[in-house]
Structure 1
Amino acid sequence: MYFDYSEKTISSEKIYQGKIIQVKVDTVLLPNGKEAKRELVNHPGAIAVLALTPEDKIILVRQYRKPLEKTILEIPAGKLEKGENPLDCAIRELKEETGYIASNMTQITKFYTSPGFADEIIYLYKANSLQQGEAKPDEDEFIETVELSLDEALERIETGEVIDAKTIMAIYYWQLERNKG
C-alpha cells in the first residue's frame, strides 16, 4: 500500500522576483494535518554538455563562480530561455562558451539539482563529432576552455578543482561508458 506524502499548498508568498530566479514561501498542509513553511526557489532550468573531442578529451570551462567565491572547472552549461527547447539550448551554449559545434548530440539524463528547496532541472547532453569554431561568451562571462583526458578529469575531482555535481556526474558517466567498452 502506498502512503500519500504530498503536501497541499495553503498559501504562497513571493519574496523575490529576479532576472533568473523567484523565491517564495509556501504554507503547506502536511500529511499529518499540521502546517509547515517551505522556502522555495523557482528556476527556469538549464542544460549541461559532456563534450568530447575527436582526441577523446573532455571540454571544460574555467570560470569564477560568485556563490563559491572561487574559480572552478566545469562542463559547458547554461540557463534555458523562456520556451527554449533543451537541445537547442545545449547546441547554443556549447558554441557560445567553447566555439565547438556538435554534429551529434544526445540527451544522457535529466536531474534536479537541489529538490529540497529548488525546482531547477538540468538536462545533461553528450556531444560528439565536434568541429572547432570561435567561442562567443555572453558579455558577463569570462571563461577559458580546458581539454582533459579522462584520467586528468578524474584527478581534478580528487584534487577538488572539479567540485560541481553536473561536472562530476558527466565525468563519471564518461568513465562508466568507457569501461563498458
Structure 2
Amino acid sequence: MSADDKHLIERRLASETLFKGNFLEARRDTVALPDGRSATREYVTHPGAVVVVPLLDDGRVVVERQYRYPVGRVMVEFPAGKLDAGEDPLTCGQRELLEETGYSAREWARAGEMHLAIAYSTEVLHIYFARGLQQGERQLDEGEFLDVFAATPAQLLDWSRSGELTDAKSLSCLLWLQNLLSGAWTLDWHTDPGQIPTPAG
C-alpha cells in the first residue's frame, strides 16, 4: 500500500461470521470509511487456488469440460483446484494437473496471480504454465466428473469470442497465453521446482 492511498483505505471496526462451510466462509464487517463514516462489507473468504495452462508439444493446450452447479452449465476451463491449508501453490498445481488430467510436466513457470472477484471474495488464483507433458493415469477425487481434451489457442480464442468459454480464470490465462505466443510476454521456465519464485505474502 502506498502512502498516497491513505484517502482510499477502509479500516475494519468489527467482524461477524454469517456462514461457515467446508472451505468457504461468509463474513460481514463494519468498516470506517476514509471520510469517517461507517459502512458494512459482506464478502466470502476463500483459501486460494491454482490454475495451470498445460502446453502440449504440438502447440495445443490441455483443457477440461466440467459441470459447474452454481451456474448450471458445463464449462470449458483450464485445470485448477483449491489450495489445501498451508499448501505451496506449485505443489497444488502439480497435484491438480495429475489428478484431473493424468499429465505430469517436465518444466514449470509461474505467471503470476489474479484476484477472481475483488468486490466480494478474498480468493487469489496462482497461475502456472507447464510443458514437457507426459501422459499418465488420472486420479479424480470421489464425486468429480470431467472430460479432458486438447484444443488449439485459436479454438479457445474463438470460443471466448462466441461465448462458449466464459470462465474468468481461463479467459485471464488466455490473455497470458496469447501474449506468450506472440513474444510480447516471457516466462521463466524451470525443471527444478525449487528455483520457481514463490508468491509474495
- Whether these two folds match at TM > 0.5 is yes
Shift of 1:3: 4.5
Question: Is 1:109 the counterpart of 2:112 in the alignment?
Answer: yes
Farther off after superposition, 159-168 or 68-77: 159-168
State the Cα RMSD in Å: 1.2
2:19 maps to which residue? Answer: 16
Query: How far apart, in 2, do the equivalents of 1:119 and 1:3 lie?
Result: 20
Deviation string for 1:55-102 (max 9, x for gaps)?
Answer: 111110100001110001000000000010000000000000000001
**Aligned residues: percent identity?**
35
The alpha carbon displacement at 1:27 in A equals 0.5
Q: Which residue of 1 aligns with 2:189?
A: none
Unpaired stretches in structure 2, ≥5 consecutive residues = 185-201
Q: Which residue of 2 aligns with 1:38?
A: 41
Secondary structure (helix, strand or coil) at the match of 1:2 reads: helix
Paired position in structure 2 for 1:55: 58
**2:173 pairs with 1:170:** yes
Aligned partner of residue 4 in structure 2, secondary structure? coil
1:10 and 1:61 mapped to 2: Cα distance? 43
User: Equivalent residue for 1:93?
Assistant: 96
Where 1:137 maps in the other structure, the secondary structure is coil
Map of 1:83 onto structure 2 = 86
One-letter code of the match for 2:17?
K
Code of the aligned partner of 1:85:
D
Give TM-score, length-normalised by structure 1: 0.96
Residue range with higher mean Cα deviation, 55-64 or 153-162: 153-162
What one-letter code is carried by the residue in structure 1 that aligns with 2:33?
A: L
More moved, 21-30 vs 160-169: 160-169
2:73 paired with 1:70: yes
- 2:4 aligns with 2
Q: Which residue of 2 aligns with 1:140?
A: 143
SS at match of 1:93: helix
How far 1:173 moved relative to its partner?
1.5
- With 126-135 and 160-169 compared, the bigger mean Cα shift is at 160-169
Which amino acid letter does the alignment assign opposite residue 150 of structure 2?
Answer: E
Offset, 1:152:
1.1
The runs of 4+ residues in structure 1 deviating greater than 3 Å are none
Question: What are the superposed Cα offsets for residues 109-141 of structure 1, whole Å, 9 maximum, x if unpaired?
Answer: 101111111110000000011001111111121
Q: In the TM superposition, what is the alpha-carbon distance from 1:172 to its structure 2 partner?
A: 2.2
Match of 2:197 in 1: none
